[in-house]
Amino acid sequence: MTLFILLSVFYYLRSRKGKTFLYIIFSGLFLSAAVLTKGFVALYIWAFPFFFLVFNKDKFSKILMQSFALVFYTSAPIALFYFFNEEAATNIIYYFRNQVQGSIENVETVNSRFAILWEFVQQALPILFIAAIGILGVKLKKHKISDKPEKISWVLLAITFSGILPIMISMKQRGFYIVSVYPLFALAIALIMLPYFKVQMAGIQKKRYFRRWIQIISVISIIAAIFLSIISAHTIQKDKEKILIVAITSKLTSKGSTIQICPEMRQDWSLNAYFVRYANIYLDPREESDHFLFLTDDSCTESIPHGYVISDGTGKYKLYRKTTE
């Protein structure tokens, strides 16, 4: 989702400098992909034109047209799926009733509506601390700041909180709902800090040895980042058990096949995604299903249908296969 949102932001900002119509289309399409990936939490990008109206004093007619175009090209692909694909329509309705309406009315994962805001503050503290030190250093040295932060920095800061505050409507809150706001927040702080950074760099440029050390540290950091990426390329960092059961199942059935799961596992969307992504295997939660393999986990309450025997599994998951008798 974060990648799609950043691409949407990139093309929206490009649309303000030329080829407006084409880039707005790209921006809307990428935002649509973000919505299809993670849901309505991605729609805060729609507020971009409004904040340019507030902070940049853009013409109202221009903002109105941009807003309409962005909403239209975001909604169009979803509408096509809804009206021309029955399964997609069913999933969209199910998502709205259970994940959106149901979450607002019935689901509580936190004790306070401000939990998501506190989650953001905890993650943002390091960058705020570094920024405060930078500003304090300039103030203590009594440097004159001739430039002011660019207006886009306040737009990015406002859009950051647009991605956080609406989530407070629901008591169902997760930290990954706001993952996409952190790059935008980092850009906002960087642009706010830019005038102070220029003053500091002007002094550093005069110190040749200091420049040399910065270059050495930068090269070492890049090499370390590449090295860490290489050594962790084939390690499973998240949902290890789910990926393991996918690998086990893929050895017992072919691509494009369907296996049965118990009804309680219906909403385990990440498990569904892993099976399709890594093995092209589909999960069927219907009780009347009759497939060669049957997958269960700790949440399953019903007994295993007659004719199935344990085949393999992990600590949480058990995989049964139908006997040939």
Residues 135-165 pLDDT 10s: 887 777 776 766 777 889 999 999 999 999 9
Say what the pLDDT of residue 146 is: 67
Tell me which residue range forms the domain holding 216. Answer: 209-234
For the residues 31-42, what does the mean pLDDT come to? Answer: 90
Query: Which of residues 150, 183, 204 is at a domain's end?
Result: 204
Say what the pLDDT of residue 8 is: 93
110: in domain: no
Helix-helix angle 208-231:181-204, to 10 degrees:
150
260: in domain: yes
Instruction: Inform me whether the pLDDT recorded for 325 exceeds 60.
Output: no
83: in domain: yes
For the residues 272-292, what does the mean pLDDT come to? Answer: 85
Instruction: Output the average pLDDT for the chain.
Output: 85
Say what the pLDDT of residue 113 is: 86
> How big is the CA angle at 124 (ends 123 and 127), to the nearest 5 degrees?
125
State whether 215 and 296 are in the same domain.
Answer: no
For the residues 157-184, what does the mean pLDDT come to? Answer: 89
Q: Is the pTM of this model over 0.85?
A: no
Instruction: Inform me whether the pLDDT recorded for 75 exceeds 90.
Output: yes
State whether 90 and 33 are in the same domain.
Answer: yes
Q: Residue 281 burial by CB count (10 A; 0-12/13-18/19+): exposed, middle or buried?
A: buried
Tally the domains of the chain: 4
Residues in the chain: 325
Burial 50-86, CB ≥16 within 10 A → b, else e: bbbbebeebeeeebeebbebbeebbbebeeebbeeee
Instruction: Inform me whether the pLDDT recorded for 249 exceeds 70.
Output: yes
State whether 250 and 218 are in the same domain.
Answer: no
- Name the token pair of 201: 């760099």
Q: How far is CA 302 from the centre of its chain?
A: 35
* Euclidean distance between CA atoms 37 and 171, whole angstroms: 21
183: in domain: yes
The helix/strand/coil state of 244 is: helix
